[in-house]
Amino acid sequence: MTTRKPSIAPLRKDAQRNRAALLDAARTVFAEEGLDAPLEGIARRAGLAIGTLYRHFPTRMDLVGAVMAEKKRAWIKAAEAAVVIEPAWDGLTFFLERVCELQAGDLAFNDIASMRFPYAAGIEAARKRAYDLGRRIVERAQAEGSLRPDITAEDVAFIVWAHSRVSEATYAIDPHAWRRYLALTLDGLRATAAHPLPVPPLRPRQVLRAQLRLGRRRLR
Amino acid sequence: MTTRKPSIAPLRKDAQRNRAALLDAARTVFAEEGLDAPLEGIARRAGLAIGTLYRHFPTRMDLVGAVMAEKKRAWIKAAEAAVVIEPAWDGLTFFLERVCELQAGDLAFNDIASMRFPYAAGIEAARKRAYDLGRRIVERAQAEGSLRPDITAEDVAFIVWAHSRVSEATYAIDPHAWRRYLALTLDGLRATAAHPLPVPPLRPRQVLRAQLRLGRRRLR
DNA sequence: TCCGAAATCGAGGCATGCCTCATCTTCGTC
DNA sequence: GACGAAGATGAGGCATGCCTCGATTTCGGA
Segment B125-150, tens digit of pLDDT:
888 899 999 999 999 999 999 999 99
Q: Is the CB of B48 under 7 A from strand D?
A: yes
Number of A:B CB contacts under 8 A?
147
Confidence at residue A6, expressed as pLDDT on a 0 to 100 scale = 45
**CB-to-strand D under 7 Å, chain A 58-77:** 58-60
Confidence at residue A2, expressed as pLDDT on a 0 to 100 scale = 36
Chain centroid, CA A83 distance in Å: 18
Closest CA to B112 of B2, B4, B218, B3: B218
Does the pLDDT of residue B46 top 90, yes or no? yes
CA distance A37 to chain B (A): 11
Chain A, nearest residue to B205 by Cα: A173
**Distance of alpha carbon B167 from alpha carbon B186, whole angstroms:** 16
Q: In a mutagenesis test of the B interface, which of A89, A110, A173, A211 is the best target, namely the one with the most B β-carbons within 10 Å?
A: A173
A214 → closest Cβ in B169, B180, B214: B169
Instruction: Classify residue B115 by its DSSP letter.
Output: -
Q: Give the distance, in angstroms, between residue B7 CA and nucleotide D3 C1'.
A: 23
**Distance of alpha carbon A156 from alpha carbon A208, whole angstroms:** 13
Helix intervals (H) in chain A: 13-33, 39-46, 50-56, 60-67, 69-82, 88-103, 107-114, 121-144, 155-170, 177-189, 204-218
CA distance B155 to chain A (A): 8
Confidence at residue A123, expressed as pLDDT on a 0 to 100 scale = 86
Which nucleotide, over all strands, has the C1' atom closest to the CA of A54? Answer: D19
Does the pLDDT of residue B121 top 80, yes or no? no
Contacts of A202 in chain B (CB under 8 A): 170, 173-174, 177
% of chain B exceeding 70 in pLDDT: 96
Does the pLDDT of residue A4 top 70, yes or no? no
Closest CA to A145 of A106, A189, A180, A201: A189
pLDDT tens-digit series, residues A70-87:
899 999 999 999 999 999
Contacts of B186 in chain A (CB under 8 A): 188, 195
What is the number of other CB atoms lying within 10 angstroms of the CB of residue B134? 23
- Predicted TM-score of the model (pTM): 0.93
Contact between A137 and A79 under an 8 Å Cβ cutoff? The reply is yes
Contact between B213 and A173 under an 8 Å Cβ cutoff? The reply is yes
Q: Is the CB of A80 under 7 A from strand D?
A: no
Segment among A2-6, A144-148, A156-160 with least mean pLDDT: A2-6
Confidence at residue B41, expressed as pLDDT on a 0 to 100 scale = 98
Residue B8 confidence class, pLDDT cut points 50, 70, 90: low
Asked if B197 lies within 8 A of A180 by C-beta distance, the reply is yes
